[in-house]
Amino acid sequence: MKESNQNTVNRSSPKTLGDRKRFLTGIKPSGDVHIGNYFGAIKPCIDLSKDVQNEVILMCADWHGLTNRAEIMRPGQLSHPLIALLLALGYNIKENSIILQSDFPQIQENSWYLSCATAAGLLERSHAYKDAIANGKVPTASLLFYPSLMSSDIITFDSQFVPVGKDQAQHLEYASDMAKLFNNLVGVDVYIAPQGVIQETPTLIGTDGERKMSKSYNNILPVFATKKELEKCVKEIKTDSKGLNDPKDPNSCVIFQIFKSFASDDAIAYMKEKLEKGVGYGYGHAKKDFVDEHEKVFGSHRERYEYYCNNFNEVKKLLEPGYEKARSYADNVTKRARQAFGLKSYLN
């Protein structure tokens, strides 16, 4: 192989990427975004986009959402609301990108190239695939192929860094290993092997006070619930039997635990003090303060969210500059891969 490719062997990094650190981060459009998601995944992304040292490509991973046959219609329904939500909550779209995975066919093409350099056995070791089997499900071929597409999400845009939770370290290993396997196979450094940036992803307790907040446990508080909807959800937060004037422990109070994930510092300090003193401040008061603060923090964003949800073309226009940039990265990477194989084309 290497003989036939001597002229192009170049083991140095394929590109100097400019001064900003390029991050790729993906979110699967899987349901109503709740405060647990906001706190664990959405807010870290938005914070990342606000640091001018970073160039963030946020991918709404609709193709990955199709790997589960039971939820095959979700990505189509939920991708636009997810992007609307990110914009409404202040993702810095002027300096960064949000892209819809299925708008970038280059990802599928590079996924094929990665898979040509990777042993089949590697795919079966993915947690998602093993979990499906352990749970008695019949995994789809796409779930088996998931590590390849996911790795391609990253390498297709020359991403250098990927924020990962502790339980996602395997994802980065896949992307990094497959990139290196490919580069070794063709004898040229085509793909950048990305680095993981471990992120503390705090899990939030659900309204049942027992398990982490999750749609599957039906214990969530939606980020963009109206005041009325929220009041109904908050009512169900479990509390102990302490009375109006009993001192209460904020650390064991589910209301406070959720409250502090989104409230302002002042509001947090206020509720903490009130609970600890416990004079004339019962759980009913805490729940009311919860709803008021939620409205204060998310209310105006909710209006913008609804506006973006209903104005598809407006969103499209906001995404356009980022799309163009991402496309040029993807075209560039794909061209490098094709050149490494010497593939012909009758297109241009």
Residues that bind a second copy (CB under 8 A): 1, 4-5, 62-63, 66-67, 69-70, 72-73, 75-77, 79-80, 100, 102-103, 105-106, 108-109, 111-123, 129, 138-145, 148-149, 185-186, 312, 315-316, 319-320, 323, 338, 341-347
> Shortest distance, CB of residue 88 to a second copy, whole angstroms?
17
CB 279 within 8 A of CB 245: yes
**In terms of CB distance, is 52 or 72 closer to a second copy?**
72
Which stretches of 142-187 are assigned E, i.e. beta strand?
Answer: 161-164
Which residues 6+ apart lie within 8 Å of 330 measured at CB?
104, 106, 107, 156, 157
Cα 165 off chain centre by:
10
Question: What is the closest distance, in whole angstroms, from the C-beta atom of residue 73 to a second copy in the complex?
Answer: 5
| DSSP secondary structure code for residue 279 in this structure | S
Residue 100 or 263 with smaller CB distance to a second copy: 100
Q: ∠ CA(175), CA(177), CA(180), 5° rounding?
A: 105
**Nearest-approach distance from CB 146 to a second copy, in angstroms:** 10
Least separation in angstroms between residue 28's CB and a second copy is: 14
Contacts within 8 Å (CB) and 24+ apart, 120-123:
122/147, 122/174, 122/177, 123/147, 123/148
78, 30 contact by CB (below 8 A): yes
Q: Specify the DSSP class assigned to residue 222.
A: B
For a second copy, give the closer residue by CB, 62 or 293.
Answer: 62
Exposure on the CB side of residue 208, measured as CA atoms within 13 A = 11
Least separation in angstroms between residue 184's CB and a second copy is 10
Q: What is the dihedral of CA 186, 188, 190, 191, to 10 degrees?
A: 90
The least CB distance from residue 329 to a second copy, in Å, is 16
Which of residues 121 and 280 has its CB atom nearest to a second copy in the complex?
A: 121
- Between 142 and 195, CB nearer to a second copy: 142
H or E element: which one contains 48? Answer: helix 43-50
Q: Which is nearer to a second copy, 63 or 224 (CB)?
A: 63
Smallest distance, Å, CB 202 to a second copy?
Answer: 31
| Residue with Cβ nearer a second copy (112 or 217) | 112
C-beta of residue 39 within 8 angstroms of C-beta of residue 224: no
